[in-house]
Amino acid sequence: MIETIYADIGYASLTKDGQMICGDHVEKVQCEDGSIVAVLADGLGSGVKACILSTLTATIISRMIAENLPIANCVNAVAEALPVCSVRHLAYSTFTVLHISTSGMLSIFQYDNPSTILLRDGAEVEIPFSSTVIDDKTIESAKIQLQKDDVVIAISDGVENAGVAFGGASYENKWGRAAIVDYMEPFSVVGFSAKTINTILLDECFKRYVAEPGDDTTALTLCIKEREQVNVLVGPPANVADTHKMMSLFFSKKGRHVVCGGTTAKIAADYLGKKIVDDPYIQNDPDIPAMGKIEGVDLTTEGVLTLSRVLEYAEDYLQDNRTYVQWCYSRDSASLMARMLFEEATDINIFVGSAVNPAHQGAEKSISFATKMKIINDLKDRLEDMGKQVRSTYF
């Protein structure tokens, strides 16, 4: 993305009740020129056949758009590739394409999916679509220059139809696009990540379906964020002589600063010439040791146990994001750190001290140096899976 702007993309699905596999599919491709293509496809019907149709459609279109091929070529390629249903004698999948350039220009292509939603400053902005007929298919397309804090939401018809009785007997309880917009507008200005916005939207769909989705239900969200750097310091250096160098480099970085570990906090406080004091705004979690506050440090936490909890949240975030209701609103140190890393940070520097903590050693100690390093490395991997730019420096 352009130097100060970051495109945060997230997606999630509900599988139709009674099916083992979702008939919707989302494909995301990072292009060589730095742009990103994301395609939401909804295959005809449900189950395995629908999954095959949507997966082929999303994969073919995303790869071709990434190669800068015209949408007409994409539609033709999909028509030739999709297997024909033996029951309906059709080869069909709807799709929505979001292609965001490094300049923040968004290109949208839609075929038979509900119209994409653009939220800006807490209100919907109408997208100027135009229509083109390609092989008897009406393709809607639009180009729009996105701005910081814009939220774009593409949905399958399962979202619009949330509330419809299983089996589609009645549309009286259909949620509808206008009501969806009204519901999501307040959430669009909070600063949530794209994944969390998706989770909020699909949670409401699940409630409206009374826990029995009548259709595959998928949301794909794009949030335009200003780049924000977060620096995390974990553990003292292996060589005591490197302490000043490590602290100097850590605190010289722009952005916010997180210090993890009791020994590390003492070293950081000494470097800054400050004291560690109680933080009255931290809510204790019985499983997460409480830590204090250091002037000049944005968050001070315990070490391995807190990082382990954040890693658990990160792994869940990349799956169903069920624990977001815990870390999104709680004020224990693990939740605060998760919010900072998942929702706010775009670029993360992790400074890892390789000193062995004597308090963690011994036959009866459950935390080994190898365990600590694995937690840190796994967390780095999960943050990268979220699309963050992560850099580790070891001392």
d(CA 301, CA 293): 9
Concatenating the DSSP letter of every residue in 91-148 gives: --EEEEEEEE-TTSEEEEEEESSPPPEEEETTEE-----EEEEETTEEEEEEEEE--T
**Block residue for tokens 């080869």:** 91
Is residue 114 within 8 Å of residue 159, measured between CB atoms? yes
Helix runs in the chain, H state only: 47-66, 71-81, 157-160, 177-184, 194-208, 243-252, 262-272, 304-317, 324-327, 333-338, 369-385
Q: What is the DSSP letter of 311?
A: H
Maximum pairwise Cα distance, the chain: 75
pLDDT of residue 113: 96
d(CA 302, CA 293): 11
pLDDT of residue 164: 82
Q: Three-state SS for 40?
A: strand
pLDDT of residue 208: 94
Is residue 289 within 8 Å of residue 299, measured between CB atoms? no
Give the C-alpha distances (Å, rounded to integers) separating 89 from 5, 48, 58, 86.
Answer: 46, 16, 21, 5
Which domains occur in the chain, in start order?
5-226 (3.60.40.10), 229-394 (no CATH)
Is residue 346 within 8 Å of residue 229, measured between CB atoms? yes
| Per-residue pLDDT tens digits of the chain, which is 395 residues long | 445 789 999 999 999 999 999 999 999 999 999 999 999 999 988 999 999 999 999 999 999 999 999 999 999 999 888 876 666 556 689 999 999 999 999 999 999 999 999 999 999 999 999 999 998 889 999 999 999 999 999 999 999 999 886 554 455 678 999 999 999 999 999 999 999 999 999 999 999 999 999 999 999 999 999 999 999 999 999 999 999 999 999 999 999 999 999 999 999 999 999 999 988 777 767 888 887 899 999 999 999 999 999 999 999 999 989 999 999 989 899 999 999 999 999 999 999 999 986 655 555 555 678 899 999 999 999 999 999 999 999 99
pLDDT of residue 336: 95
pLDDT of residue 289: 85
- Rounded to 5°, the CA angle 218-20-205 comes to 30
pLDDT of residue 288: 87
